[in-house]
A and B are shown apart, each in its own frame.
Chain A
Amino acid sequence: MSEAVEVIDLTRRFGDFTAVDHVTLKVGYGEIFGFLGANGAGKTTAIRMLCGLLLPSEGGGAVNGYDIATEPEMIKRSKGYMSQKFSLYPDLTPRENLEFYGTVYGLAGGELRRRMSDLAGALGLEVFMDRLTGSLPVGWRQRVALAAAILHRPKIVFLDEPTAGVDPVFRRRFWDVLYDLAEGGTTLFVTTHYMDEAEFCGRISIMHAGRIIEEGPPADLVRRYDRASLEDTFIHLISGAGAGA
């Protein structure tokens, strides 16, 4: 398995609406890949297919070496996923939340405790471990969610708008954590509406109306379209594609 993600002509239809339309993608291990697009472009539907949560109508491929159509259970177990909506129990503490996720992934005993304590240290969560998750500020809850997503040491983590609504200080720190993960060989597949975060990515793709309309290193795209910034490039590409959503 040479690539973390390799899909060809990935397509998903809902009735007569095509949410994802022949998407072809390759992402290598250790890459930080930015999966960009307008609201409603089909990003979340594509990610759900890549995570083994939704079957494609057409096309297919592999994530972490597992076929998304025939081995979705293996993908579910071997990937990490952190969504824009919190998947944590607000009335449990971070410790209890992580214990719960550890159990889901078949971790227990000393091994689970060791990993939880390592992650709490790496993410600066120690002092929050026994407070109620729902009482934590968004930035810290996001870190707990990240810890839950990587507790089982997945080789690929899908992050769907992990920093929506988070202030610049927290966003910078969160990305330092992501960089460390990527340096350790973890593949990060990230959606974001912050263009400075897109510039953190080695490569990005831009999705519009279910299709990937551009792909490449962020700086290359800015040069290719002769724009002042990635934001200008993004807006140019999306509005040029006849959007307006």
Chain B
Amino acid sequence: MLFFKSYLLPRIIQYIVVILIGTTVVFVVPRLMPTDPVQKTLELVALQGTYIDPEAVEKLRETLKELYGLKGTLFEQYIAFWKRLFKGDFGPSFAQFPTPVMDLIRISLPWTTVLLLLTTTLSWVIGNILGGLAGYFSNQRWARVLEGVAMVIRPVPYYIVALGLLIIFAFAFPIFPVGGGLSVGRELHLTLDLLLDIVRHAFLPALSLVLVGSSVWFMTMRLLVSNIVREDYVLYAQVGGISDREIVFRYTIRNALLPQITGLALSLGQIFSGALITEQVFAYPGLGTLLYNSVSRGDYNLLMGITLLSIIGIATGVLIIDLIYPLFDPRIRYR
């Protein structure tokens, strides 16, 4: 019961608050827009040259207002907005009218999810193991070399790393394709060949995400471990003659993983943002590229849909990590 009140409940409240704040921002911002999206769409239709009589225009205006959720007072709009959110209905895309936004997202989502899950896990594991070792054996030459490398990669934003890799491995030494998720004209039959093609295309985006991600985890882990090494229980284990191997894995890395799990939850949003921009660099067919397209075509509904989905997705991811956390920390499990 104490566990529920002091651990679970605050997390669930946090989950609700994140989504509430995020969605409200998404609701409010476009309504501050100086241009009216309905008017804009009507102009677009008019630009195409076909004549529509004024009555039909008025009818279209009403339909569009309804579709974009701009009907009624602000409060009514907000309620309607939430109703649609629960139904998973983000309205139609402006640019590819009338395809629902959800359909477009549905195509891109698996690409991003797989890339993101894979690279996040990989960088977390690599960064923590290397960082843990480098923190424990901080006097060794290899540890200092690793630290130097991580220190240089760590602060560089995803975009620049991705661009750098693109310049090196796609232009200077064309080993990997310049972009995309699949070779042009390839049919979607599940064969080994197709799988290899996907991997070849995903390699550079994945590499840049893992490079930056693992150096971030490396630097924090190294610092954590270099502090934990001074904890009494580690010193005592050393005095007791327990092998370095066991101390590294069962005493230092094991214990430093706890704040790193919390860290993973807190930086999930940043990691996701990084993945979006990396996808755009490599024209990888995930949410990032979809987002870029929606921006360049002024497709606000799609943009809002992606943003809302990201907020809910990230918040849920954080909640899941928070729910798993007690499994690793007995101090929370048994109060």
Are A and B co-members of a single complex?
Answer: no
Q: Which residues of B contact A (CB under 8 A)?
A: none
Q: Which residues of A contact B (CB under 8 A)?
A: none
